[in-house]
């Protein structure tokens, strides 16, 4: 079957992805001048009883998602149920990958970034639950991670959502992804919003540790509840942080839904004490940094990063410690802008987005913070951490790839940090020209 040139009013510009059940196209709405994603079902699958059930699921997804207007949920613009035409719905086109893809690429697993992501997921779920919609398939593949300045997330795929008081509500059927099932879902029982919270806790654990709870351990938690043995990977965190993490996760992963957090808002509130906790940034070996091309070697550097964010004064690897500088008196608006710039810098640093892309990276954010408050210690230490990570990456690459590529990356680093003597020395060692 040839690909359609148009679906409804949308021009079809290409394929974004496809699977056994259908194709997602990149489309264009010529009326308003914006790109869209168009989800379809293969017509050959719509025959017989199975086809009717598949079409009903497709309808449920559209019905659920079209009711949800929230910044962390991908919105649906239009739905065409089918008839003589191919069933489809058009939704927001999002530039980004799923958390599943980022985890496979070797995403940093640390407390700050995990809280940033899960906080947004819980905000979206709180909203959908208030609307009477339970997602029932929360997992990394259904959470898109955008590389914008805020590292926003968006939930997708409400295809098995339970809509309260709907003729499409199904109980006694196992629908979802087994690895992220709640105990009641794994037993085919009726689920409610607390099942989404259980699945969210499993995703959070994965973001904290870069490891899934194994199927064996997950099955054990279903019967007996989670124990410290199941959460052993959290021992990478400081003792007080471990205590808080385990307390929240034990409750969120309780076998009995009545013993869990009873709402996404309750779960989110329980995370607040963790927001100021220092935590290590863990990196897998043999991976690439998100948004860049250089391999990372961050074992020592991440410890230094934790130290400076915890307020420890470390001597700078380039020769001197950051000393307190006179602070600028800021009004409320400037203080908010400064806090925003520092948070963006920390997030960029956490995912390894150091000096690229232009205008949306850690160095840029910290430099903008210094424009607001030239004596800001956090921003100055942040820039030093960027330089340390860059130097480690460049030194690790030596002899591993094309010399010209290394010189090109070093040239960008020298442009951003023209006074860094280590970069200048490495430039000479590599005999770069330009």
Q: Residue ranges per domain, the chain?
A: 6-92, 97-274, 289-429
Cα–Cα dist 52/307, whole Å: 58
Output the pLDDT for position 16: 86
Those residues with Cβ within 8 angstroms of residue 22's Cβ, 6 or more apart along the chain or in another chain: 39, 40, 41, 42, 45
Q: Tell me the pLDDT band of 216, cut-offs 50, 70 and 90.
A: low
Output the pLDDT for position 303: 34
Query: Of 101-110, 189-198, 208-217, which range is least confident?
Result: 208-217
Output the pLDDT for position 138: 94
Q: pLDDT tens, 270-313?
A: 999 998 654 444 433 333 333 333 333 333 333 334 434 444 33
- Residue for token digits 């070093």? 410
Output the pLDDT for position 178: 80
Query: Of 13-27, 286-300, 303-317, 338-352, which range is least confident?
Result: 286-300
Q: Tell me the pLDDT band of 357, cut-offs 50, 70 and 90.
A: confident
Q: Tell me the pLDDT band of 222, cut-offs 50, 70 and 90.
A: low
**Can you give the pTM of this predicted structure?**
0.71
Output the pLDDT for position 405: 83
Are 116 and 65 contacting, i.e. CB atoms less than 8 angstroms apart? no
Give catalytic residues, as residue numbers: 137
Q: Tell me the pLDDT band of 206, cut-offs 50, 70 and 90.
A: very high
Those residues with Cβ within 8 angstroms of residue 253's Cβ, 6 or more apart along the chain or in another chain: 198, 201, 202, 221, 225, 226, 260
Number of H-type helices and E-type strands within the chain: 14, 13
Output the pLDDT for position 277: 55
Distances in Å between the Cα of 396 and the Cα atoms of 298, 384, 389, 400, 401 are 10, 18, 11, 8, 10
What average pLDDT score do residues 383-403 get? Answer: 84
For domain 97-274, the CATH class is: mainly alpha
Of 109-113, 186-190, 385-389, give the range with the top mean pLDDT: 385-389
Are 305 and 122 contacting, i.e. CB atoms less than 8 angstroms apart? no
At residue 410, does pLDDT exceed 60?
A: yes
CATH level 3 topology of 6-92: Phosphorylase Kinase; domain 1 (3.30.200)
What average pLDDT score do residues 164-169 get? Answer: 37
Better-scored residue on pLDDT, 140 or 56: 140
Output the pLDDT for position 292: 37
Are 133 and 125 contacting, i.e. CB atoms less than 8 angstroms apart? no
Output the pLDDT for position 83: 61
Output the pLDDT for position 214: 63
At residue 29, does pLDDT exceed 70?
A: yes
Token reading at 380: 């100055």
Q: Give the mean pLDDT of the chain.
A: 80
Of 49-63, 245-259, 272-286, 313-327, give the range with the top mean pLDDT: 245-259
Better-scored residue on pLDDT, 105 or 215: 105
The two most distant CA atoms of the chain are separated, in Å, by: 75
Token reading at 44: 């050959």
């Amino acid at each position: 079957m040839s690909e359609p040139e148009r679906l409804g009013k949308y021009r079809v510009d290409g394929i974004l992805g496809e699977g056994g059940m259908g194709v997602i196209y990149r489309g264009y709405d010529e009326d308003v001048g914006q790109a869209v994603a168009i989800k379809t079902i293969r017509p050959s699958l719509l025959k017989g009883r199975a086809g009717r059930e598949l079409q009903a699921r497709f309808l449920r997804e559209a019905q659920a998602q079209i009711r949800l207007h929230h910044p962390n949920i991908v919105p649906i613009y239009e739905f065409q149920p089918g008839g003589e035409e191919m069933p489809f719905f058009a939704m927001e086109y999002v530039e980004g990958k799923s958390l599943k893809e980022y985890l496979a690429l070797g995403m940093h697993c640390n407390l700050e970034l995990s809280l940033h992501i899960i906080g947004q997921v819980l905000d979206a779920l709180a909203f959908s639950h208030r609307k009477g919609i339970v997602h029932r398939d929360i997992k990394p593949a259904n959470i898109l991670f955008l590389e914008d300045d805020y590292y926003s997330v968006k939930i997708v795929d409400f295809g098995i959502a339970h809509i309260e008081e709907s003729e499409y509500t199904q109980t006694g059927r196992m629908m979802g992804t087994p690895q992220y099932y709640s105990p009641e879902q794994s037993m085919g029982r009726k689920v409610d919003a607390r099942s989404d919270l259980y699945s969210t806790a499993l995703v959070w654990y994965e973001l904290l540790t870069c490891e899934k709870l194994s199927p064996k351990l997950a099955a054990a938690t279903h019967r007996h509840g989670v124990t410290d043995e199941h959460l052993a990977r959290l021992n990478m965190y400081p003792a007080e942080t471990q205590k808080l993490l385990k307390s929240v996760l034990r409750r969120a992963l309780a076998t009995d839904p009545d013993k869990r957090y009873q709402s996404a808002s309750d779960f989110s509130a329980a995370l607040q004490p963790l927001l100021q906790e220092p935590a290590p940034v863990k990196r897998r070996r043999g991976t690439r940094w998100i948004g860049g091309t250089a391999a990372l070697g961050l074992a020592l550097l991440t410890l230094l990063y934790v130290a400076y964010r915890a307020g420890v004064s470390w001597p700078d690897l380039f020769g001197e410690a950051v000393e307190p500088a006179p602070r600028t008196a800021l009004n409320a608006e400037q203080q908010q802008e400064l806090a925003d710039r520092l948070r963006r810098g920390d997030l960029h640093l956490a995912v390894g987005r150091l000096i690229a892309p232009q205008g949306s990276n850690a160095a840029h954010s910290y430099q903008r913070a210094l424009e607001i408050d030239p004596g800001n210690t956090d921003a100055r230490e942040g820039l030093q951490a960027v330089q340390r990570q860059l130097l480690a990456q460049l030194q690790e690459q030596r002899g591993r790839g094309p010399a010209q590529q290394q010189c090109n990356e070093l040239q960008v680093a020298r442009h951003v940090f023209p006074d860094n003597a280590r970069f200048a020395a490495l430039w000479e060692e590599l005999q770069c020209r330009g």
